[in-house]
Structures are given as structure tokens and as C-alpha cells.
Amino acid sequence: MHLQTLVALLPVLGVQGIRIIQSNDDGWAEQYARSFHNALIASGHDAVLSAPAENKSGTSSLDIEPSPRTSACQYDSCAAHSGPIGRNESSPRLNWVNSFPVTSMRYGIDTIGPQFWNGQAPELAVSGPNVGSNLYLAVHFSGTVGAAVYAAKTEKIPAIAFSGASEGTLAWNASPEAQRSKVYAELAATLTNAVIASGKPYLPEDVFLNVNFPEVGGQCTQASQFKWVLSRINIGVFSAADVQQCGKTRLPTETSVVDADGCYISVSVGDATDKTTAPAEKQAVVLKKLQSMLTCLP
Ligand SMILES: *[C@@H]1O[C@H](CO)[C@@H](O)[C@H](O)[C@H]1NC(C)=O
Ligand SMILES: *[C@@H]1O[C@H](CO)[C@@H](O)[C@H](O)[C@H]1NC(C)=O
């Protein structure tokens, strides 16, 4: 991770440290979420992680009160019988909730985060990076997206869901830190910082961003090799026109962006009320904010 680079860039971007709540669905001890947490902290943000005690992939928008753990958390990251909620006592910004991604996001926003922020709410919610892509129909089942959508729709906190196509489980303490975990963290922090630098409100109401990174490997091994493309979640054959971008009024689907030859990242403007593509006027707000970093598919 080129954290020095990120930190050095901050004054240029004019990014200020803000209160960020973080969740995922692969579990609080998954390396992708930890690398991203470290990148947010290195960027000067007041980030707090509140994520499920174990892998709760595919649980969409389920939300049930946490129950006491009987077994150890994933990768032995907490002891058995350690209650319904817990944290890393030596890094208390790292918290687990023994329930679903949405529940962990809800606790993070309402209870855990405010303990670090003088009772204040987070200014931004981020989820992931998920282990594996969340494209098109998968968006509806993803707990990583579910947590972001909960923040945007129910709590009215701007939210971004990140997913990476490179799969394979990685414990938080697997050493050395995986290159894919570092690259995804750096990319996720870059977009997060760009959204913050664009000023408040960070995103239109009831909008979340669904961001998908292609695989790390081949010609795509460093964050600097990746490019950002504005996309749509679902196929838009019968939908109203999208915002005009790259000379068209139909954005590419996120699947076509991530599958394109090259290192293209899809950034979709999602509607938090139904997890489909947000209308053109909301896409336009995001386009204006991110214009300088976006490119067109060849
Ligand atoms: C808890 O934090 C300490 C200190 O940062 C670290 O060494 C340890 O690996 C962490 N454990 C978990 C499960 O997060
Ligand atoms: C979580 O579980 C799902 C299937 O239930 C699996 O596809 C995914 O790879 C797992 N993720 C991790 C990080 O273990």
C-alpha cells in the first residue's frame, strides 16, 4: 500500500478527515476490510469498523438482533462465549456484531461509532471490499450492498459498496498482506477521498454507489493501472435515458465494464430504494463530482 502517497495527496485534494462507518459481509476479520480500514485511517479519517463476526455473504438486507456467540469468531478472531457484540481490545475501532451485515451497519451507525465521535453519527458509510464481484442481479443478494443500502435508505447516510473480483479468503493477520487486498484498499480509499473532496452532500438522497474492481493480476497489479468508468447496475434496454457520458445516453452495464479488456472499475449510481440504477438526474450529480477521474471504455 502506498499510504505515504495517499497521505501526501490529501492536502492537494483538499480532503478533510471525516467520520466513516465501515462494514462488510465477509466478516470483521477478513483482510480486505482491514486493509481498507488502515487506508482510511492513513488518509486521516475517523474510521470505525462494525462488521459481522463471521462470513455472512449473500444475506442481502436481513437484520436480526445479535445473539451471544457460542463458538469463536471467524479465523479464531474472538473467543467462544464472548457475547453478542465485541471488539479488539487493543484496537477498539475494530468491532464485530454477531449478526447480519445490515445489523452490524445499524449498530455501527447507532451505537458503536458514536462512542468514538462524541455521540455524533457518521458522515459516510462504506462497505467491503467484498471478496468477489457484486454485479447486476448479485446486487440484490449481497450483504455488502445490503449494508450500504441500509445506511443510505434508512439512515440517510451517503454510502458506497465496494467489491473485488479476486476471490479467496484471507485472514486479517495472514502475512504478508496480499497484494490484491492492498490494491483494493488503495482504490477504495481513492474513490472515498474523491467523493469526500467533492463536498457535501456527498451523494444525492437515497443513492448508493456500487463499485466493482476487476481482478488484480496480469496487467492489473498496481492501483495506478486501474481506470474508473461510470456504469449502470441493470441492463437498460427499456429504461429511461441515462446521463450523457462518453457521447451516449446509455451507460455501459457494470458487468461489461469489469469484463472489458484492461483494468476498468465500474462505478454505478444505485437507487437505495430498490437496488437498481438511479435516474439520470442523480447520475448527473455523481458524474459532476467524479468527472475528473472517470474515463470511457475504448
Ligand atoms: C487486534 O489488534 C492488535 C493490535 O492492533 C493486533 O495485533 C491483533 O492482530 C488484532 N486482532 C484482531 C482479531 O483483530
Ligand atoms: C463467504 O461465504 C460465501 C458462500 O457462502 C463464499 O462464496 C465466500 O467466498 C465466503 N467469503 C469468505 C471471505 O470466506
- Each residue's pLDDT tens digit, 216-244: 999 999 999 999 999 999 999 889 999 99
Q: How far apart are CA 173 and CA 7, in angstroms?
A: 24
Task: Name which of 134, 152, 154 is nearest 143 in CA terms.
Answer: 134
Q: Which ligand is nearest to the CA of 132?
A: 2
Task: Reply yes or no on whether the pLDDT at 268 is more than 90.
Answer: yes
| The model's pTM | 0.95
> For the segment 270-294, what is each residue's pLDDT rounded down to a tens digit?
999 999 999 999 999 999 999 999 9
User: Does residue 298 lie in a domain region?
Assistant: no
Q: Is the pLDDT of residue 247 over 50?
A: yes
Q: How far is the CA of 168 from the centre of ligand 2 (A)?
A: 8
Determine which helix (DSSP H) or strand (DSSP E) holds 227, and give its type and residue range: strand 227-231
Q: What is the mean pLDDT of residues 245-261?
A: 97
- 225 Cβ below 6 A of ligand 1: no
Which 3 state secondary structure label does DSSP give 95? strand
For residue 51, being part of any structural domain is answered with yes
Task: Provide the pLDDT for residue 1.
Answer: 46
Tell me how far the alpha carbon of residue 57 lies from the centroid of ligand 1, in angstroms.
23
Q: Is 88 in the pocket of ligand 1 (CB under 6 A)?
A: yes
Nearest atom, ligand 2, residue 26 CA: 13
Handedness of CA 113, 161, 16, 203 (dihedral sign): negative
**Substitution candidate for ligand 2 out of 75, 131, 144 with most atoms within 8 A of CB:** 131
71 vs 75, 81, 98, 223, CA distance in Å? 11, 6, 11, 38
pLDDT higher than 50, residue 117 = yes
**Is residue 15 very low, low, confident or very high in pLDDT (cuts 50, 70, 90)?**
low
Is 161 within 8 Å of 134 (Cβ atoms)? yes
Share of the chain above pLDDT 90, in %: 94
Q: What is the mean pLDDT of the chain?
A: 95
Q: Would you give the distance in Å from CA 77 to the centre of its chain?
A: 22
Contact yes or no for 121/151 (Cβ under 8 A): no
Are 6 and 42 a contacting pair, CB within 8 Å?
yes
What domain range is 180 assigned to? Answer: 3-293
pLDDT tens, 163-187?
A: 999 999 999 999 999 999 999 999 9
**Residues with Cβ < 8 Å from 129, sequence gap 6 or more?**
24, 32, 33, 36, 162, 163, 164, 184, 185, 188, 213
Compute the half-sphere exposure of residue 174: CA atoms within 13 Å on the CB side of its CA. Answer: 18
* Alpha carbons 248 and 200: distance in angstroms, whole number: 28
CATH number of the domain to which 138 belongs: 3.40.1210.10
Q: Which residues pair with 77 in a beta bridge?
A: none
Query: Quick one: pLDDT at residue 71?
Result: 98
Q: Which residue has the cell 457494470?
A: 254
Q: Distance (Å, rounded) from C-alpha 27 to C-alpha 131?
A: 10
Give, for ligand 2, the residue of 23, 54, 55 to mutate: max count of ligand atoms closer than 8 Å to Cβ.
55
Taking the CA of residue 58 as reference, the ligand 2 atom at the shortest distance is: 5
Cell 441493470, located at residue = 234
* Strand, helix or coil for residue 268: strand
pLDDT for the residue 16: 80
Place of cell 459481522: 52
Mean pLDDT of 32-55: 98
Number of domains in the chain: 1
The cell numbers describing 233, all together, are 447496475
Residue 135 cell numbers, joined: 454485479
Report residues whose beta carbon is within 6 angstroms of any ligand 2 atom.
Answer: 26, 30, 55, 57-58, 131-132, 167, 169
Atom of ligand 2 nearest to the CA of 32: 13
Can you tell me which atom of ligand 1 is nearest the CA of 34?
A: 14
- Residue pair 232/251 in contact by the 8 Å Cβ criterion: yes
Instruction: Please report which confidence band the pLDDT of residue 72 belongs to, taking 50, 70 and 90 as the band edges.
Output: very high
Give me the pLDDT at residue 156, please.
Answer: 98
